[in-house]
Chains A and B, each alone.
Chain A
């Protein structure tokens, strides 16, 4: 199952390399990775989307915790959380497609942030389903370039069943 792991680290030289190296050395998979400083400039948050069975995830969490500069590791999937991703999508817009592109962007509450005679660049923010749905809708128009930030996640304040509990309940 997919997991979102938030890793709070000291903002020091080489920390990202250690965290990423740990994944490659042990054959764990990274689906996406995002890194940026937190409110406290001496720390950064690394958000990693990964997958694996229970045992692999347990090892990943423990191995991350073992890194000296890692301050805290949270498996978001064990909490209720919000996750977001931003994508910039450059689509081809033949004259007869320009309106269609705007309509699709509107439906997804995405913004057109740049345009040229032959393209629009559309910015979208949302959870993974939304971003992927938009990409799928735009595909027929022809995507020239696509770039995604990778996901970030934050726990919700109100206690809701965790994403994992929801999934197990469904299953």
Chain B
């Protein structure tokens, strides 16, 4: 029996074992929503904005490793997900976005709500397709899921014209995909793996640098094994956090612009760099000409374009992290006859690293007057016993979350790294919570980012998604203000937010429990009270508006040129009250 395109669409989702999709209906996709409405296998989460839907799908995908699915209408529905697509593309997140399109006979006519969905999304998708014939629909959907989730993951857009949803075809879900030009490499080259293993055994000052690819590849166990058998210290990119336990003695935490002093110094002095699913982003390398000046580089990445893009690799290994490390660990074990000897040989390097760790640990000073943002995250870390999933927004709070919430498990730190999309946090947390209704999911945010997608509070309330929102309210676009402090002589151009809503009342308006902590002493009670509550909670912490995030490698600086605290002249201007007064002229949240 023949099925309509809409029925085929839903059958395909079931075949792909999709449990939930995020979206908003509209004219050309009504038929799709109508068929979805009449079945129970695939749940539809109605969001309040398509951007929210896209970020929820990202959060879902990051937490589970499965593709997140979005369904939106043509025209504005599609253009509203562009930020989500671009974000997923930069951070290699598997998404399948279905967009409605005007009927095939109207395409190109400037029809009502027509947009060139394929054209608009081309530069920010891994692949995209306009389905012109219902007979191609099932195959296209199969290919979309395959492409999104294999190799280097990424977003795929499938554009479905209205008539294709009503036309009929025989439904048969293809068993296999047949893509002549798409064939990711998983197994690494044996010869190169051997060469890498030899270098690892020889090196005196090696460092393992782990990125998001390790998480996509589910390789946390292999990385732990690699580090432990070779006794090599590990640092992680922002996207790699969780791939190695932040509490492990070999962990140096995050590296890069706001990474730890120790990890950046270790990079600078290393003689061997083992890059594992990381792409040498400029936030990590700093000034390229001074990056790891003494190191030979082993680079494991599934995407050949990541290799030798920014930094020369002496031993490139194209392949999947897990597959490559499995082979490599076996080799290393067979080579390393004497564990003790290796430990001994690496001792001076380990000692040096411990010294760097001790010299400049992360620090802040908490008094009893004004809450430091780091203190809130410290407490959060303590109270949750490192458990739970953290999604963040973008700004200072994001960096503090990365520094102080030392997650121990993979897929528990969800953040927008490559695009740095403010407004990502809340919907991403909701997506993760949808995937794991029983786990603790937190959103660490600040008032600037939060106001970019706060409409999704309604989705949280409506779907009873018990996300715990920790809002570090500093009254500023804090990250921007920090740069203005450091590089623009404290001129706060458009970084002070002025009028800020009463977030407790706002939460209340959405039917969400709202709490506020004005003083340091209130931080812990508010957190405990909030975490006791069963439903979603918004906790508004008023924090020091002038706290800056350190260490910091200033833009264009080299790895070892970290700034560790406010320069003295900066402290003087701030404390003199001039800057403060300027800020107070607005109506922003400021300390009493």
CB distance A13 to B130 under 8 Å? yes
Contact with B147, one of A13, A58, A65, A68 (Cβ below 8 angstroms): A68
Report the nearest A residue to B130, measured CB to CB: A13
CB distance B180 to A10 under 8 Å? yes
Contact with B122, one of A10, A21, A70 (Cβ below 8 angstroms): A21
Alpha-carbon distance between A156 and B128 when the two chains are bound, in angstroms: 36
Interface centre among B123, B127, B181, B309 (most CB of A within 10 A): B181
CB distance A68 to B122 under 8 Å? no
Alpha-carbon distance between A59 and B305 when the two chains are bound, in angstroms: 6
Task: Using C-beta atoms within 8 Å of the partner chain, give the interface range for chain B.
Answer: 20 to 34
CB distance B182 to A68 under 8 Å? yes
Alpha-carbon distance between A170 and B28 when the two chains are bound, in angstroms: 63
CB distance A63 to B305 under 8 Å? yes
CB distance B127 to A62 under 8 Å? no
Alpha-carbon distance between A13 and B305 when the two chains are bound, in angstroms: 25
Q: Does A67 contact B (CB under 8 A)?
A: yes
Q: Does A143 contact B (CB under 8 A)?
A: no
Q: Does B463 contact A (CB under 8 A)?
A: no
The B interface is mostly helix, strand or loop, or mixed, namely mixed
Tell whether A66 pairs with B119 under 8 Å between CB atoms, given A58-B308, A59-B309: no
Contact with B181, one of A14, A58, A63, A67 (Cβ below 8 angstroms): A67
Interface centre among A10, A25, A63, A68 (most CB of B within 10 A): A68
CB distance B304 to A65 under 8 Å? yes
Alpha-carbon distance between A69 and B127 when the two chains are bound, in angstroms: 9
Shortest distance between the CB of A46 and any CB in chain B (Å)? 13
CB distance B305 to A17 under 8 Å? no
Residues of B within 8 A of A25 (CB): 123
Q: Does A18 contact B (CB under 8 A)?
A: yes
Q: Does B118 contact A (CB under 8 A)?
A: yes
A residues 12-62 in Cβ contact with B at 8 Å: 13-14, 17-18, 21, 25, 55, 58-59, 62
Q: Does B179 contact A (CB under 8 A)?
A: yes
Alpha-carbon distance between A67 and B119 when the two chains are bound, in angstroms: 15
Task: List residues of chain A with CB under 8 Å of any chain B CB.
Answer: 9-10, 13-14, 17-18, 21, 25, 55, 58-59, 62-63, 65-71
27 CB-based A-B contacts, threshold 8 Å: A9-B181, A10-B180, A10-B181, A13-B132, A14-B118, A14-B122, A14-B129, A14-B130, A17-B119, A17-B122, A18-B122, A21-B123, A59-B308, A62-B304, A62-B305, A63-B305, A65-B304, A66-B304, A66-B305, A68-B126, A68-B127, A68-B147, A68-B181, A68-B182, A70-B181, A71-B180, A71-B181
